[in-house]
Structure 1
Amino acid sequence: MTEDTRTTRDERATSETPSRRRSVLLFLRDLLVIFVVAVLVSFLIKTFLIRSFFIPSQSMEQTLVQDDRIIVNQLVPELAAIERGDVVVFKDPGGWLPARVEEEQPPVVAAVDWFLAFVGLSAPDSNDHLVKRVIGLPGDTVVCCNALGQMTVNGVPLDEPYVALPPGETKVSRDDFEVVVPEDSLWVMGDNRYNSKDSRYNTETPLKGFVPTDNVVGRAVVVSWPISHWTFLDNYPEVFAGVDEGAE
């Protein structure tokens, strides 16, 4: 090999090294841009469109099982009206939940949890929210129970297939009640009727068990985890057929 050939090869290798380094840097830059854009999109989706929550209690069984994860449509009620039968997530109206002491976390765990919550993959505030089914809208008269053990809304008896009752029990509420839902409020109940601290059992709170519509975070639309529980959540419009006419 001549000296000129070696010189040419060395010059080519020298010129290729900065080019290779520049390609690697460009690749890393593109990865960083993609990551930042993905995080921002996830944040915007979580903030304005959908959000994940986990189920902290047994009050909605068998529709929702404790520790299920659900996807919540946050366009309800801002852009889409709440309907009877909707399963909604809402902030504590005051006095529904016991005071909770924040648990200390290692800094790394806290940072990871914060990031996952930021992009909507974690829901550390699930214990500060409740999940129930909407039974009464503003102006509705909700009464339980009639001679067949059914609940009525505006005088229309409800046949509720989603309700879980203890064996041998036919009455859909252990305790009788009659309420008229005030303006801008909801009457909500758990599907696990004998194990749900819902509107019936919060009448001593400042809002008398009613939930302001402004407290609603959104409507639960699907069980996302575990995969074996995956399903869309129905609001059973046939159950509430005729209720609006009964209000007239």
Structure 2
Amino acid sequence: MDTEAQHTERDRSSDTEERSRSARFTGFADRFGWSWRRTGLIGAVCVVFVLLLSHFVLQPFLIPSRSMEPTLQVGDRILVNKLAYRFGDQPRRGDVVVFDGTDSFVQQPPAENPVTGLLHGAAAALGLAEPAETDFVKRVVGVGGDRVVCCDTDGRLTVNGVPVEEWYVLMGDAPSKVPFDIVVPQGALFVMGDHRSQSSDSRDHLGRPGGGMVPVERVIGRADWIGWPFGRWSGVPETGAFDAVPEPAAGGHG
């Protein structure tokens, strides 16, 4: 018997099996590695796309407080239409808007770590974190030239001399416990929360620098939809409360 030939055949067989296993492992590793790389690449592209969409078109915004109840509730993710005022349209009375309150609601933005700020900004842009401390959501009750007064003899807000039936205000809340009589400067907005007793808004900044008047250019967009939770998936209700309000007379007095 040729034992040397048998050993040679077994050696060749072992080498073939080893190469086959090695090839299978290499192929699996290549496929597995490529799968992870491809998944990571697709994920990164999706994140960049969503961030760009959020920055220019439609931004999720997490509601952090009770100031807009019952229209908006704590934990709602609203979708802010950033194109609403990009093509010549202006905020209208009754619109729910998100704006940067720097120089109107906040005089000195809080200092923060640049890296932490960047990460928080990205998370906020995806609706995963509370908005920046300078960002607010309120309802427009007066535009440039409007005379806004509270309250008349029946306890109602008036704009340009016309009483406004504010059905969107939280039941039981007065239109305002703080009396005021103001004329909104041109190019600015007077804004209030729907939960008046829980809202820090234009009323709270009267007499301070900026006077609580929000420059139109500081408006980020209009809140058009509630996107989360699914049980509240709907459009932000429009209001006809200001339909009877006339345009301000010359000089801004109604």
Judge same fold: TM > 0.5, yes or no: yes
Describe how 1:53-72 pairs up with structure 2 within 5 A. 53-72=61-80
Instruction: Indicate conservation of the 8 Å contact 2:145/2:248, yes or no.
Output: no
Spell out the pairing of 1:223-234 with structure 2 (5 A cutoff): 223-234=226-237
2:161 pairs with one of 155, 172, 177: 155
Over residues 17-59 of structure 1, what are the superposed CA-to-partner deviations in whole Å (9 max), with x where a residue is unaligned?
4333332233223212201211110110121122232333322
Residue aligned with 1:127, SS: coil
Amino acid at match of 1:38: C
- Partner SS for 1:29: helix
Equivalent in 197, 203, 207 of residue 206 of structure 2: 203
Instruction: Give the aligned length.
Output: 240
Q: With the length of structure 2 as denominator, give the TM-score of the two structures.
A: 0.77
User: Which deviates the most, 9-18 or 56-65?
Assistant: 9-18
Q: Give identity over the alignment, percent.
A: 35
Residue in structure 2 matched with residue 188 of structure 1 by the alignment: 191
Residue 123 and residue 72 in structure 1: after superposition, are their counterparts in 2 closer, same or farther (change >3 A)? farther
* Cα distance in 2 between the residues matched to 1:118 and 1:154: 37
**Stretch moving more, 181-190 or 49-58:** 49-58
Aligned to 2:94: 85
**Matched position secondary structure for 1:243:** coil
Which ranges of structure 2 fall in alignment gaps of 5 or more residues?
Answer: 1-5
Cα-Cα RMSD: 3.4
Name segments (4+ residues, structure 1) moved above 6 Å. Answer: 4-7, 98-104
In the TM superposition, what is the alpha-carbon distance from 1:101 to its structure 2 partner? 6.5
8 Å CA contact 1:52, 1:123 repeated in 2: no
Quick check: 114-123 or 83-92, which moved more?
Answer: 114-123
**CA 1:205–1:124 in 2, change beyond 3 Å: closer, same or farther?**
same
- Alpha carbons 1:140, 1:180 under 8 Å: kept: yes
Tell me the residue number matched to 1:235.
Answer: 238
Matches within 5 A, 1:20-31: 20-31=28-39
Residue pairs, 1:137-176, within 5 angstroms: 137-166=143-172, 172-176=175-179
Larger Rg: 2
Residue segments in structure 1 that go unaligned for 5+ positions in a row: none
Q: Secondary structure at the match of 2:190?
A: strand
Is 2:44 the counterpart of 1:36? yes
Structure 1 counterpart of 2:3:
none
Q: Tell me how far apart the structure 2 counterparts of residues 98 and 55 of structure 1 sit (CA, whole Å).
A: 22
Give the aligned partner of residue 53 of structure 2. Answer: 45
